[in-house]
Amino acid sequence: MLQALVDGLLLGGVYGVIATGLSLVFGVLGVVNFAHAEFLMLGMYVAWFAWRYLGLDPLIGSVLSFVVVFAVGYGVQRTLIQRVLKAPPAAQVFLTVGLMIVIENAALMVFGSDFRSVSVPYQVEGYRLGDIFIGAPYLYAFIAAVILAAALWLFLDRSWMGRAIRAVAQDPMAATLVGVDTRRTYGLAFGLGVALTAFGGAVILPYITVSPTIGGQFVVLMFTVVVLGGLGSVAGALAGGIMVGIVQSLSTLVFPIQLQNLCLFVIFIAVLALRPQGLIKGA
């Protein structure tokens, strides 16, 4: 039981960071980005190429993934997403779903359908605390996720740009009146959101293979985490991620691993019925 809790906590911390970007994008722009998981795939490929051709460990390559995908996300927002911010929700859905299909198929054309993995010295190592075994790749990914979550909190709480993002999320018109460039802020928020997910994808690369369709394995998980935590709530996404990780891990004690998401979706439905605003409401 304790081993399952620890495993779930380590997984959940990474889930939280991966889903935080999706929640941030909705909280600031009001757009449900169905292409969000494809940016996780892009971040994984950047880290893989950095490992293959530059010899960078994925934990270090995650910084490169963050920067590259941030630039891509900023460009996507300014050229595509910005055009539908005031459009009906259906237009936003069609655009992000179309973007998801384009990115995935472009990746298939460029990278092929092969599954790619990395080899790092700590891949099969671990630490033992009494009866509990902690895999080194999972522990390092969790630590990286915690550091990034703390950095995100400091950025949003202490920096001028972070406060500008929060102001635009609460009232774009009032933010404009006090001198905030809302169009630029929307671009930065979208870039930051997808970059967070790319970072999360890079740090899990030591224990997960990357392929153009990897996003499909995470898209439902991301939305489950965000809805449980409260759509638009960054803190809620982190809490939801940890909850999802622990539920997934504990359910394997009772059910076959193929049914590990059964308990998760039962709790998901129960939370939606009893507390539809999620666990934590607000940014």
**So what's the pLDDT on residue 254?**
75
CA-closest candidate to residue 17, choices 180, 263, 203:
203
Which stretches of the chain drop beneath a pLDDT of 70?
231-232, 257-260, 277-283
**So what's the pLDDT on residue 264?**
74
* pTM of structure: 0.88
**So what's the pLDDT on residue 279?**
66
C-alpha distances (whole Å) from 178 to each of 172, 173, 198, 223 are 10, 9, 32, 34
CB-CB contact of 189 with 29 (8 Å)? yes
Q: What does 205-245 look like in DSSP terms, one character per residue?
A: GGGS-B-TTTHHHHHHHHHHHHHHH-TT-HHHHHHHHHHHH
